[in-house]
Structure 1
């Protein structure tokens, strides 16, 4: 376990407990008890989002070697579970899902290339989703100015653009050749694999239908995640409109991505729920209960995902390169 990740997790947990502890705990507990099974339904509402993202990723793979939708949804489930609960800086989940894809018979180049393109497009689709959330907050009179929207747009485009340009510039094979040169030719296999991955990456980017389809299905996945917020707040007795649920989900997802070094965005996510609740006129206790409901989602969906990952790794048959 990464020491920095562990320290950030402990600090984040302390911050989360401090924020929740400042609320009226008896009222928060009453809201959660009243919601009951509705919060379980809210957690399970995350499954459609994972399925949509699994389908989006699946579009980037060669037709002849595409795993089924169920397998791709499981890969996304494992990826999100590892990234959401472990101190892996949101990279470990990608490695785990790549290994699972390889275990399903997908060759190295399409598995790695599709994953990298999927990651790049996820930055763009989340940027679009975040901008939609900011626009909805501004429309609701939450005091979000166009300056904040413009700054978010520029930051997101810079990040996504840099990632995409690096992929199209064969950065992986360039680094591999540099490493092989420094090591006096001891890693020719790495250089060859990297070159194949870069060629496959360029090939995927040229398939515009797959790129557009992946982006749109990812965006649909982000939007579907808003269903969790809508169901949870309805169960807690504070129903909101779909637009407000989208705004909350968009901002929480953006905050969680920005806090990628903190496992599960502990503390920061709770602060985000409380701040958004204040902007949208939700009582602090309702916002705190919503934050706890999101953590319940982690236990119901992501904790079993970690157990499934361990089980799947043990059953995996090594695949040839």
Structure 2
């Protein structure tokens, strides 16, 4: 029985070769849409083009995906890269902080859409209730982060650091944190900017649905948009909730299999989907890590100014 299951899994995964290539190429579209969302919160007078922003976004996503950084280290990296690429670097950290918040809020909306799709596809509300708790955690996290941003998140962190480091050592840190909080508040007060950023970020999440649709179609499974939406959005929700696990290894695969079972997919096909997604992450993100290491070794500013950034 085990040998038969392994054989079916191997056959299903091997049939996904062209589909994996397709989703690797398609990945540029979600990254570009998320990059445009990030650009939307930047000041127009100091806003880089889409291509350099896309390259930095790709590197940040690669760091978050493949390194044990709690899925926030990549955001620190892209703030550093963006600051090095602009004449006025002061606002880069605040822009990344606001973009991070918009990413969580838009993903929470995406997850709610997935729950609605699951309720439409899966038999009975009970099946949807099994993933509703996880989605509620994501929605609660979005609300909590928004509250912290409004109350001076970075000043609060600096205050905690000050209690450990001593007043003298932390005075400069506190001033920098206060300035960062003011810049974040200034961006968040610009409602048109925030709405544009949120819209692009949500569009970026929705574009991920095509990835699930391509994989489902390649396996010969019903590839309705509602099924693809439920699978993709809730799989991303599981990954985000498991942010403490490096690369969400195991959690992502388990989440995809569990959601696939709720959607009526055979276990081996759901696991093949999970493995295909992991393969796509390695193919797309490993070059991003390599590009980052090259930039750090040769000098970020030199490469960006000479056009050597991805």
TM-score class normalised by the smaller sequence: 0.7 to 0.9
Rounded to whole Å, the distance in 2 between the matches of 1:298 and 1:246 is 19
Match of 1:317 among 291, 298, 301: 301
Asked if 1:254 is matched to 2:245, the reply is no
The match for 1:99 is: 80
> Please, what TM-score do these two structures have when normalized by structure 1?
0.85
Deviation digits for residues 42-90 of structure 1, max 9, x if unmatched?
A: 2222211111000001111111111111111112211211111111111
Rounded to whole Å, the distance in 1 between the matches of 2:4 and 2:178 is 55
CA drift at 1:148: 6.0
Rounded to whole Å, the distance in 2 between the matches of 1:22 and 1:219 is 42
Match of 1:202 among 185, 188, 201: 185
CA drift at 1:317: 2.6
> Please, what TM-score do these two structures have when normalized by structure 2?
0.88
Rounded to whole Å, the distance in 2 between the matches of 1:180 and 1:275 is 44
- What is the root-mean-square deviation of aligned Cα atoms in Å? 2.4
**2:134/2:237 contact within 8 Å kept:** no
The match for 2:173 is: 190
Rounded to whole Å, the distance in 2 between the matches of 1:174 and 1:248 is 37
The match for 2:307 is: none
The match for 2:58 is: 77
Superposition map of 1:87-166 within 5 A: 87-105=68-86, 107-145=88-126, 151=133, 154-166=136-148
Rounded to whole Å, the distance in 2 between the matches of 1:165 and 1:90 is 20
Residue ranges of structure 2 left out of the alignment (5+ in a row) = 305-310
Deviation digits for residues 172-228 of structure 1, max 9, x if unmatched?
A: 235436655862423443233222211111110111011111111111111101111
**1:109/1:193 contact within 8 Å kept:** no
- Count of aligned pairs: 299
CA drift at 1:313: 2.0
CA drift at 1:109: 3.5
Moved more, 37-46 or 223-232: 37-46
The match for 1:168 is: 150
Moved more, 60-69 or 187-196: 187-196
Match of 1:275 among 239, 252, 258: 258
Give the SS at the match of 1:89: coil
Match of 1:219 among 202, 219, 236: 202
1:106–1:203 distance in 2 versus 1, CA, 3 Å: farther
Rounded to whole Å, the distance in 1 between the matches of 2:132 and 2:218 is 35
**1:45/1:225 contact within 8 Å kept:** no
